[in-house]
Chain A
Amino acid sequence: MNQPVIDTSPKVSDEVRKTTCYMCACRCGINVHMKDGKVAYIEGNRDHPVNKGVLCAKGSAGIMQVNAPSRLRKPLRRVGPRGSGEFREIEWDEALSTAVGWLNELHETAPQKLAFFTGRDQSQSFTSFWAQNFGTPNYAAHGGFCSVNMAAGGIYTMGGAFWEFGQPDWEHTKLFMLFGVAEDHDSNPIKMGLGKIKARGARVIGVNPIRSGYNAVADDWVGITPGTDGLFILSLIHVLMKAGKIDLDYLARYTNAPVLINATEGAEKGLFLRDADGKPLVIDRVTGEPTAFDKPGVRPDLSATYEKDGVTHRPVFHLMAEKYLTDEHAPEAVAERCGIPADRIRAIAAEIARVAFDEAIELDHEWTDFRGETHSKMVGRPVSFHAMRGISAHANGFQTCRALHVLQILLGTVEVPGGFRFKPPYPKPVEAHPTPHGDRRPGRPLNGPHLGFPRGPEDLLLDDCGTPQRIDKAFTWENPMSSHGLMHMVISNAAAGDPYKIDTLFMYMANMSWNSSMNTKGVMEMLTAKDDDGNYVIPNIIYSDAYSSEMVAYADLILPDTTYLERHDCISLLDRPICEADAAADAIRWPVIEPDRDVRGFQSVLIELANRMNLPGFTHEGGTPKWKDYADYIVNHERRPGIGPLAGFRGEDGDKEGRGEVNPEQLNRYIDNGGFYVAHIPEGADYYKPWNTAYQNWAVDMGLYDSPQPYLFQLYSEPMRKFQLAAEGYGDRQPPDHLRQRIKDNLDPLPIWYETDQQGNEGFTVNALTQRPMAMYHSWGTQNAWLRQLHGRNPLYVPTKLMREHGLQDGDWAKVSSPHGEITVPVMEMAALNDNTVWTWNAIGKRKGAWALQEDAPEATKGFLLNHLIHELLPAKGDGMRWANSDPVTGQAAWFDLKVKIEKAEAPTDTQSQPEFDPILSPVGTGPKDLAWKVGK
């Protein structure tokens, strides 16, 4: 037999350039294979701490993104009415001077009239620095409508949360319980972790109304009723406490379970008893006396109470026993609401208990805790948890996230082998975070960082009349702990002039006129609304994006950004870094190709704008600019002496990490190192981090803290109690009366569950959710010729029971309505789905004319958004007031509280999903008909 001779060793590429992916929020390392100066192939970087060589569908499709026909090509100035998409191309100089013309006066006279909000921004430490120096209080990224409940719930409870804050100990965990996630957060690490668990045959329990993706591979699936996760978790806590399956030693040592709560009636009731130095007190089991929690040698007592002046002060743990052992948390009491049989809840609790206590592991790592006690071993309880938006995007999400962390802590499985581990710079207690700032100081920088963690009413951003300082009303009584701002309220508040009018709306990478807004149609109307004089209510809108998204048509000035392979970026420890539980790490992007269009990296444009306006912080005293572009800033900016955006290769010789002088060669060193830097945590410092002296010292050396910050996990949240006290009438700063009861009820210092506000939802009984396909990131995947073939349209997935009830078959159409609106869309049956839940893929539906697609693209004809059914306000209450559709603690947008009614419908006459909108004019035309993309000869 003679078979053809083939070349099995063809040349793969001329050169490999290593940078960081930006096809979603995961930030994996990529090898970009170049041929003839062009991108030929993209694969994962094996050395990279995040993805260790693997890469998801989005990442591998990067070549179709950097060559997408939807890329903006030149700055644009609107010539038609807003929303039409009619623009003229202009030069950069005109674009920049136009922007400066609008902004400079605001900076000098009324900086709050600029609202600067960024969406999928991965440079928040820089964009916030810019906004701070501009002086506007109105800055945030998209956390408020994404997952602030998860972040804030974690930080207030234990100094960190899931995703960028920490991860399961994939190497050791024996039981992994996964609650609803947004797939693009930690996308590859979760898959890699699941793979490791599966390879060992360990158990995965998925808690999610929808059994797709990770839940499809879960060994046990809990198809919970949306919004009842907190109820389920508190029931697990009830069962575990009742059986004594909790880690008392851990609770006594590392949490505030033994901290004494002031029981004296009055303004201090419910706050911690503290010593003269302000340190919370515990009863020392050795002396029986109240003692500062961190005194060397102290053995906190979980049970003892403290009598003084006829008042019995009890420890937190007593309050927990009282709260969680009641029958209202028994499995039988919650089973029906959660949609989980009581026996199943008990079985899961039992399995958790079995693994945590019967399969405990020990690592022979000696370590010393903050009280000076040395431990010869590290004990691990190999049960781990992960959750994201599924539990947090509800109006009870903050408390639910807290409940999940309390469950982990009761089991003693946080920061131990086999449990949940923090990633530097976390753990980081609330005390190590800033408070919010919002003072208006024309011509001067803001008085401090915009966003932070309020410790109590004193940190709210209200002026003397009680008016919100921020346009999004973050850090007000409506949502006092809104640590990420409320991007979803900016446009509606600005359009309503409430709390005040703004002049310029400046946004980056946020598709607010389409899939990133609730009430999409309403937002389009707000963006185009005119006053009596015929002027736009929001006078100027500046938008920066790399692609022709739906939002482009609604801006007056477009600053075209580069794609991710054409830019400098830093994934900084000052921001949302890419660390692992074993290491601190950061990374860069660098231009592995040059743009073939007249576009500029947005961050460099911000520097140019700052320089033209002589913004403080960006200019030396004489007015000369500090940095010429973003790359210059990345290398030369110092937040504190010796600490800059990048932690690696600092110092003159590039041999310092964390702290060190500026190194002009830093970027080249990163490039030579594969685009990232890793600083490993020494053995013995790698677990028990919040209390581990070796870790704390390492973190100080790295510049993560300026001094060791050991702390206790906050099962009981004192800041929440302070807001409750205000609502009870104590203190100078008082909530308006209509919010008092809500604050008393919802800001309970111990996790609770409450039904989300269903006012006005009568008759709408079916839960409606969205998920993100693993292969698409928000709206971006659609412009990608390869990815859009995977998900070019989205049916509404309907459970078998509802399909039968409504006489529906695959391909039929259904009218889906909510108190706010209705859509008519195609349906598809799904059996592995909660019986009373429908769902669809997020952001597949597109507006005609956007993303360089032809107007008859399936995304624009069959695809649809659920957003049309969701309003940023709830239906009016009896008193006519409409409250925000968000969490009363943090203001997180409650996307997943949506309830709908579903009815079989005739196919629309044009067989297109309803509602339809007029096409927008594409500023970039449409893409080519056919592709056969080969770069090499």
Chain B
Amino acid sequence: MTQLPQSTERKMGLVIDLDTCVGCHACVISCKGWNTENYGAPLSDQDAYGSNPSGTFLNRVHSYEVQPEQGHAQLIHFPKSCLHCEDAPCVTVCPTGASYKRVEDGIVLVNESDCIGCGLCAWSCPYGARELDQAEGVMKKCTLCVDRIYNDNLPEVDRIPSCVRTCPAGARHFGDLGDPDSDVSKLVAERGGMDLMPEMGTKPVNKYLPPRPKDTVEEQIDILAPLLAPVAEEPKGFLGWLDKTLEKL
């Protein structure tokens, strides 16, 4: 099973907008909640109320500072979960076939009953998308909420990953990146969606929309005319202008 499919019928994945993510961690906790209660073993927490709390999370939000050559430093919030790569190294390294990429939608999953917890898939993943659950001893990863997106027990509008459903800023988008006409593909095309570590050759399905250019107001606006051409230099002159202008109203 650890052979990758030649191609998948669809390429379901996420598009994450770095221009919009405010770093609130809503997706992190919604994911934790859904996936603790649903697919496979719960996401456990060790030393939950102690000195070194550490739990399994399938989605984490990093933050980075970027210092451009000119201008202010920028801060970018950076959510990261499994990118459901087309050439997923985590699948081919798996000795038991527990890790696999679904033919119908490209979702990379772990069949927990086959997982021996060797950790090799996590080693092979450049993105840190897999975490070995310390209570269950099996590898956990983003399922793209495979138990939501086709779930007949949910209203159709809710058949999306829990992180997307909960994201307050709308910085997360879900869809078929294999279909050039899908909303997510169009978004990627419009906004220059990018791959993480393209040099790894993993061909991630998930894309990231880069932040828009920042701190440009001074460059874009002429601070004198016509917008801010003074109508008067003195309060008295201002009242004269006022009279004239009011006449026209």
Contacts and interface: CB of A to CB of B under 8 A. Distances in A.
Q: Do A and B contact each other directly (Cβ–Cβ < 8 Å)? A: yes
Interface of A: 1-4, 6-12, 33, 35, 40-44, 46, 51, 53-61, 63, 69, 187-188, 191-192, 194-196, 198-199, 201, 203, 205, 211-221, 223, 239, 241-245, 248-249, 252, 285, 301-303, 317-318, 321-322, 325-326, 343-344, 346-351, 353-354, 774-775, 785-790, 792, 800, 830-833, 852-854, 856-858, 861, 926-936
A303 B227 contact: no
Contact of A929 (B46, B57, B238): B46
Given A192-B170, A248-B242, A929 B37 contact: no
Given A3-B102, A55-B168, 17 more contacts: A4-B100, A9-B152, A11-B153, A33-B37, A41-B37, A43-B162, A56-B26, A217-B20, A301-B246, A322-B235, A785-B45, A832-B74, A858-B51, A926-B50, A928-B49, A932-B42, A933-B37
Contact of B38 (A10, A217, A792): A10
23 contacts: A3-B100, A3-B103, A4-B1, A6-B147, A10-B38, A10-B151, A41-B33, A61-B29, A187-B24, A188-B168, A198-B169, A212-B75, A219-B214, A221-B74, A242-B233, A243-B228, A245-B227, A347-B220, A351-B221, A856-B50, A929-B49, A930-B48, A932-B136
Nearest to B101: A3
A931 B45 contact: yes
Interface of B: 1, 3, 5, 17, 19-26, 28-30, 32-34, 36-38, 41-55, 57, 63, 65, 67, 72-77, 100, 102-103, 109, 111, 135-136, 146-147, 149-154, 157-158, 162, 165-171, 211-212, 214-218, 220-223, 227-235, 238-239, 241-243, 245-246, 249
B44 A60 contact: no
Among B51, B55, B72, B211, max chain A CB count under 10 A is at B51
B33 A60 contact: yes
A321 B19 contact: no
A930 B232 CA distance: 71
Contact of B168 (A54, A205, A927): A54
Among A10, A188, A852, max chain B CB count under 10 A is at A10
A699 to B, nearest CB: 30
B168 A857 contact: no
Contact of A832 (B54, B73, B211): B73
Contacts of B111: 4
A446 to B, nearest CB: 41
Nearest to B163: A60
A55 B72 CA distance: 32
Pairs of residues from A and B, 8 with the lowest C-beta to C-beta distance, nearest first: A927-B49, A831-B73, A191-B168, A195-B170, A244-B231, A346-B223, A774-B24, A932-B44
Contact of B150 (A8, A245, A302): A8
Contact of B36 (A187, A252, A934): A934
Nearest to A4: B111
A3 B24 CA distance: 36
B50 A929 contact: yes
Contacts of B44: 930-932
A346 B165 CA distance: 41
Contacts of B231: 242-244
Among A241, A343, A344, A931, max chain B CB count under 10 A is at A931
B20 A198 contact: yes
A216 B168 contact: no
A220 B45 contact: no
A4 B50 CA distance: 39
Contacts of B230: 242-243
B153 A9 contact: yes
A77 to B, nearest CB: 26
A242 B235 CA distance: 9
Nearest to A341: B218
B238 A241 contact: yes
B245 to A, nearest CB: 6
A1 B23 CA distance: 40
B151 A790 contact: no
A42 B43 CA distance: 16
Nearest to B146: A8
A350 B135 contact: no
Contacts of A935: 37
A63 B43 CA distance: 14
B21 to A, nearest CB: 7
Contacts of A343: 218, 223
Given A2-B1, A195-B168, A242-B230, A248 B246 contact: yes
B169 A854 contact: no
A149 to B, nearest CB: 25
A220 to B, nearest CB: 5
B230 to A, nearest CB: 5
Given A318-B239, A325-B234, A785 B23 contact: no
A6 B52 CA distance: 35
Contacts of A221: 72, 74, 214-215
B22 A191 contact: yes
Given A195-B170, A351-B217, A788 B74 contact: no
A353 B226 CA distance: 11
Given A212-B23, A347-B217, A786-B55, A12 B154 contact: yes
Given A194-B20, A926-B49, A935-B37, A53 B165 contact: yes
Contacts of A196: 170
B65 A61 contact: no
Contact of A8 (B3, B147, B221): B147
Nearest to A345: B223
Nearest to B234: A325
Contact of A3 (B1, B43, B52, B67): B1
B151 A9 contact: yes
Nearest to B236: A321
B218 A929 contact: no
Nearest to A52: B168
Contact of B151 (A12, A46, A929, A931): A12
Among B32, B103, B171, B222, max chain A CB count under 10 A is at B32
B138 to A, nearest CB: 12
Contacts of B215: 219-221
Contacts of A51: 168
B246 A927 contact: no
B73 A929 contact: no
A303 B246 CA distance: 8
B10 to A, nearest CB: 14
Contact of A857 (B3, B49, B166): B49
Nearest to A862: B51
B109 A248 contact: no
A231 B196 CA distance: 43
B217 A344 contact: yes
A326 B235 CA distance: 8
Contacts of A930: 44-48, 135
Given A60-B29, A216-B23, A347-B218, A789 B227 contact: no
Contacts of B54: 789
A198 B222 contact: no
Nearest to B56: A932
A57 B223 CA distance: 42
Contact of B25 (A775, A830, A928): A775
B147 A10 contact: yes
B3 to A, nearest CB: 7
B162 to A, nearest CB: 7
Among A199, A214, A217, max chain B CB count under 10 A is at A217
A774 B23 contact: yes
Given A195-B168, A786-B32, A932-B135, A216 B22 contact: yes
A195 B169 contact: yes
B168 A192 contact: yes
Given A56-B168, A242-B238, A857 B151 contact: no
Contacts of A4: 1, 100, 109, 111
A2 B104 CA distance: 12
Contacts of A55: 26, 30, 166, 168
Contacts of B228: 239, 242-243, 245, 346, 349-350, 353
